[in-house]
Amino acid sequence: MSMSKRTQSFQDLAKGSVSQPEARYSGTGHTTPQDAAPMSEERNKLLASLMSQYLSREPEAIQRQIVNHVEYTLARTRYNFDAQGAYQATAFSVRDRLLESWNDTQQYFTERDVKRVYYLSLEFLMGRYLQNALANTGIKSNYEEALLGLGYKLEDVLEVERDPGLGNGGLGRLAACFMDSLATGNYPGWGYGIRYKYGMFFQKISDEGYQIEVPDYWLTHGNPWEVERLDVTYPVRFFGHVEWTDKGIRWTGGEVVRAVAYDSPIPGYDTYNTLNLRLWSAAPAHEFDLDSFSRGDFYGAIANKEASEKISSVLYPNDSTDAGKELRLKQQYFFVAATLQDAIRRFLKRGRPLTDLHTKVAIQLNDTHPTIAIVELMRIMMDEFGIGWTNSWKTTQKVFSYTNHTVLPEALEKWSVPLMEKLLPRHMQIIYEINRRFLETIAAKYPGDGKKLQRMSIVEDGYPKMVRMANLAVVGSHCVNGVAAIHSGLVQTNLFPDFVQEGYRFVNMTNGVTPRRWIQQANPSLSAIISRWVESDDWVVNLELARSLEQYVDNADLQREFSESKMENKKRLAKLIKETFNEDIDCNALFDIQIKRIHEYKRQLLNILGVIARYNKLKSMSASELSKVVPRVHVFGGKAAAAYVQAKNIIRLITGVSSVVNKDPQTSKYLKVFFMPNYNVTLAEALIPANDVSEHISTAGMEASGTSNMKFVMNGGLIIGTMDGANIEIREEVGDDQIFIFGLLTPEIESARDACKYGQYKVVDSRLEEAISQIKSGKFCGQDTAGPIVRALEPYNDYYLVARDFTSYLEAQDRVDAAFTDKTEWTKRCIRAVAR
């Protein structure tokens, strides 16, 4: 990727071959053609000359660029060039390079009039940018040398960066991996979302062990990776009323805010293809009310500003109140309305009719959050462009595709009709009309089948009536995908069987992760081992090439290198635990890790109950028995939604068990438990490479896919898990020896629930009874936590079948212990997991 001259040919860019353009730029980006300044031949030549060179990658040149940013961008001197300044100046200098590629990429796509994919997601859990950008652009060593000359180690500079507060869990991380893969694969794609000022929340654990949510001030020092586009703003309307006029239907009145674009370049690996993540920030249409200010109403003067800005303040605001629900729906409409205006503006530059939008635009809806985009496109086409219903609907269906992320009917998003009518009155009218026309076609095929109409209706009867966003997404899209084989099957058989019967297209597209961040960046020692033994770095973009590693699985040198790499990563995690908890841990112990959003179906409760049972067993052992025990370090991490009381209770139980177990001198040598606060991408990059075994133990049939399981396996860890989500496909790939399966299967779940509910089955396991008794007694937590936990484990309340799977779970853990004692065979299993 070494080159200095810029090129007009993106194919040449991808190959690293360069041709000198005669005139690099022929347009002005977002300026409309009629407003563009005339481009004289002389000006063209001058711009081509001035912009014809890429910034030098030589360390000395990089040093000059960093120092220039220190002085001219940060306005600092040599005397206050601290670590924060070093990070910011370094980031700005890397961004300069990305913007060169970004401009070339966008120009290439524009000139060739390619079809673009727009990925709409409420979350983008990006993680730190700097290391990823350096790795993908191949200039990490150049920056290491440059920074060292300026008195800084690159690893110290990397630690200054804060994780962007733009996501929470797997949904957002999938979106981030998707953007990386699009860029690496040289696809023309953009991501669209919201620029959350305070993230979801910063998770703290109180001295009493409770989760505390505080604002995530991730923008305290700004974000050097983003470009504020004050020239790219769009109006977004809420409330108001609908008028019928001679010229058509108008939605007017109400409240209008501005969506302001912030762009972040997304570099592909070993290619100059650099895509864009465009995030919208809410701003008032009128910043300041001078009249109110003059009357002494100082708060009223800025009320519009505060009301507007809260739209993009927090990810997933608490929706336990009507105001919270309204804010969530506002967020969803806000970002899709701005996105569609942006996409349509770009499309119309070529002078095509809007009915051809699908020929150049494909929009992927990441879950149901952006589904209102279907209705918004219909509104724009009909009300603003005067296109009839039939043609508008045909185009809309061809534009959208929908990714479903849940098999839980209760988790499918719904909005009350009264809220929709109040906030988006025109959209509710269009939803009613979509539903009327849709149900007419169904009723004509199935006369008298009222139950089918009820199941398929977009509007659900009740008090109040509800808009089923998943049904709307299916009806308004040309393709629906699940995210794992079992999930896609359940989507078709359990969630949408009526739609499948009607010929709606459902496909499987199993989730994936990028090995560039999750091996090459997070685990450089393992990355080096793979490259050395497969004699190529190409596995970074084609993971199938890593399979050749398996042929060396019996090689003692490979086993030694792998073990040393694993120990290095475990020591790194041990250092982090020491810094966080002031606790020492044995790196020869088995590291058992479960990190994911805290939810009852993910069954962190089952895990901690197993830890309690292990603790009790250790307490009953003699000294000679203890000497044969496999030491364990259990690590948990994840956030509970602010309004999810039971998830927060589970965190409190985990921290309570940790406090008791870690302080017990009889057992602390053999068992330690930690809950790592504020789980994010950076923390995951420290935890995942250190795992010996990871837990993916959701109730069968309830996890759509999961992606952390893939990350753990590719980092040389084994899995303990249920036959759920992507575990099933991972098992098919890595083999039975690399995954410890337990628990009920999906077809058994409903009958098991019924048996528990109606008293036909009672779990009899003394280890579980003892653990429950200890929780009841207050040994690990107070009654405010213990009561709800214990009640959830009673047979008629055990919806997630924690008690039912408990015995099977402990048996699987026994198999893990037995396997771990044979270190050579364990290492072979881990190498196979990486290779396969």
Q: What is the pLDDT of residues 311-344, one digit of tens each?
A: 999 999 988 899 999 999 999 999 999 999 999 9
Active site residue 596: yes
Query: What confidence tens digit (pLDDT) does each residue in 207-250 have?
Result: 999 999 999 999 999 999 999 999 999 999 999 999 998 888 99
How far is CA 60 from each of CA 54, 73, 206, 414, rounded to the nearest angstrom? 15, 19, 48, 57
Tokens, residue 241: 């009323």
Active site residue 532: no
Active site residue 229: no
As a whole number of angstroms, the distance between CA 637 and CA 633 comes to 13
pLDDT of residue 140: 96
pLDDT of residue 294: 62
How far is CA 277 from each of CA 124, 420, 711, rounded to the nearest angstrom? 9, 29, 23
Tokens, residue 301: 């003067």
For 92, how many CA atoms within 13 A lie in the half-sphere containing its CB?
A: 20
The pLDDT of 187-203, averaged and rounded, is: 96
With 80 as the cut, is the pLDDT of residue 399 above it?
yes
Phi and psi, residue 250, nearest 5°: -125, 130
Choose the catalytic residue: 197, 379, 405, 603.
405
With 80 as the cut, is the pLDDT of residue 416 above it?
yes
How far is CA 836 from each of CA 18, 277, 512, 823, rounded to the nearest angstrom? 37, 32, 14, 20
Choose the catalytic residue: 258, 602, 648, 828.
602
pLDDT of residue 303: 66
The pLDDT of 446-455, averaged and rounded, is: 96
User: Which long-range contacts link 31-36 to residues 24+ away (Cβ below 8 Å)?
Assistant: 31/231, 32/349, 33/349
Tokens, residue 267: 């570099």
As a whole number of angstroms, the distance between CA 139 and CA 776 comes to 57
pLDDT of residue 296: 62
Whether residue 569 contacts residue 593, with contact meaning beta carbons closer than 8 Å, is answered with: no
Whether residue 443 contacts residue 453, with contact meaning beta carbons closer than 8 Å, is answered with: yes
Tokens, residue 377: 């496109």
Range of 40-49, 289-298, 743-752 with top mean pLDDT: 743-752
What pTM, to 2 d.p., does this model score?
A: 0.92
With 70 as the cut, is the pLDDT of residue 88 above it?
yes
pLDDT of residue 292: 57
Active site residue 452: no
With 80 as the cut, is the pLDDT of residue 721 above it?
yes
Confidence of residue 295 (pLDDT cuts 50, 70, 90): low
Q: Which residues contact 500 (CB under 8 A, 6 or more apart)?
A: 492, 506
Active site residue 711: yes
Choose the catalytic residue: 597, 652, 696, 804.
597
Confidence of residue 172 (pLDDT cuts 50, 70, 90): very high
Choose the catalytic residue: 711, 804, 828, 832.
711
Query: What confidence tens digit (pLDDT) does each residue in 741-797 have?
Result: 999 999 999 999 999 888 887 778 999 999 999 999 999 999 999 999 999 999 889
Sign for the CA dihedral angle at 814, 816, 817, 822 comes to positive
pLDDT of residue 596: 96
User: 3-class SS at 539?
Assistant: helix
Q: Nearest-CA neighbor of 512 among 474, 538, 541? A: 541
The pLDDT of 12-35, averaged and rounded, is: 36
With 60 as the cut, is the pLDDT of residue 30 above it?
no
Percent of the chain at pLDDT > 90 equals 86
Higher pLDDT, 19 or 424: 424
With 90 as the cut, is the pLDDT of residue 186 above it?
yes
Q: Nearest-CA neighbor of 63 among 182, 149, 171? A: 149
Whether residue 100 contacts residue 53, with contact meaning beta carbons closer than 8 Å, is answered with: no
Query: What confidence tens digit (pLDDT) does each residue in 469-508 have?
Result: 999 999 999 999 999 999 999 999 999 999 999 999 999 9
Q: Which residues contact 602 (CB under 8 A, 6 or more apart)?
A: 596, 697, 698, 703
Confidence of residue 529 (pLDDT cuts 50, 70, 90): very high
With 60 as the cut, is the pLDDT of residue 28 above it?
no
Per residue, what are the HEC states of 638-684? CCCCCCCHHHHHHHHHHHHHHHHHHCCCCCCCCEEEEEECCCCHHHH
Residue 452 backbone class (left: φ over 0; alpha: ψ -120 to 50; beta: rest): alpha
Confidence of residue 41 (pLDDT cuts 50, 70, 90): confident
Residue 528 exposed, middle or buried by CB count within 10 Å (0-12, 13-18, 19+):
middle
Whether residue 424 contacts residue 371, with contact meaning beta carbons closer than 8 Å, is answered with: no
Q: Which residues contact 362 (CB under 8 A, 6 or more apart)?
A: 115, 116, 117, 118, 399, 401
Please report, as a single letter, which amino acid is at residue 87.
Y
pLDDT of residue 566: 98
The pLDDT of 17-37, averaged and rounded, is: 35
Whether residue 742 contacts residue 722, with contact meaning beta carbons closer than 8 Å, is answered with: yes
Active site residue 707: yes
Query: What single string gives the DSSP state of each residue in 478-531?
Result: S-EEESSHHHHHHIIIII-HHHHHTT--EEE------HIIIIIIT-HHHHHHHH
pLDDT of residue 33: 38
pLDDT of residue 49: 82
| Cβ density class 786-798: b for 16+ within 10 Å, e for less | bebbeebbebeeb
pLDDT of residue 19: 31
As a whole number of angstroms, the distance between CA 676 and CA 636 comes to 6
Instruction: Give ∠ CA 338-342-346 in degrees, rounded to 5.
Output: 170
With 50 as the cut, is the pLDDT of residue 7 above it?
no
The pLDDT of 646-658, averaged and rounded, is: 98
Q: Which residues contact 814 (CB under 8 A, 6 or more apart)?
A: none
Q: Which residues contact 494 (CB under 8 A, 6 or more apart)?
A: 407, 409
With 90 as the cut, is the pLDDT of residue 811 above it?
yes
Confidence of residue 299 (pLDDT cuts 50, 70, 90): low
3-state helix, strand, coil in the chain (%, to 5): 55, 15, 35
With 90 as the cut, is the pLDDT of residue 383 above it?
yes
Domains and their CATH numbers in the chain: 1-53 (no CATH), 55-167+192-316 (3.40.50.2000), 588-835 (3.40.50.2000)
Choose the catalytic residue: 95, 596, 614, 652.
596
Q: Which residues contact 626 (CB under 8 A, 6 or more apart)?
A: 618, 670
The pLDDT of 455-481, averaged and rounded, is: 97
